[in-house]
Amino acid sequence: MEKSREDSVAQRARQRRLGLQLRQLYDDVISEEIPDDFLRLLEEADKSSEATSGRAGGDNASSSQPEK
C-alpha cells in the first residue's frame, strides 16, 4: 500500500511541475508582440467579414444552403 502512496505523491509533483512549466510558456507567449504582418492580416479579415455580413440579410445565411 505504501508504494501507491509514493506513486500518488510523485504524480502530484509531476503535475505541479508540468502546470508551472505550462504557465511559464503561456506567460512568455502572451508577452510577445504581435507581428505587424499578422495584425494587417487580421484587419483585412475583419474588413472582409464586415463586407460579407452586409449581404444576404446580414448573416450570410445563403452560404449554408446548397447551390443549385
What does the pLDDT look like over 4-18, one tens digit per residue? 999 999 999 999 999
DSSP 66: P
58: left (phi over 0), alpha (psi -120 to 50) or beta: left
Which pTM value belongs to this model?
0.47
| Concatenated DSSP letters of 1-59 | -HHHHHHHHHHHHHHHHHHHHHHHHHHHHHHSPPPHHHHHHHHHHHHHHHHHHTSGGGT
pLDDT over threshold 60, residue 62: no
Sketch the domain layout of the chain as residue ranges.
2-52
The tens digit of pLDDT for each residue in 9-54 reads 999 999 999 999 999 999 999 999 999 999 999 999 999 988 888 7
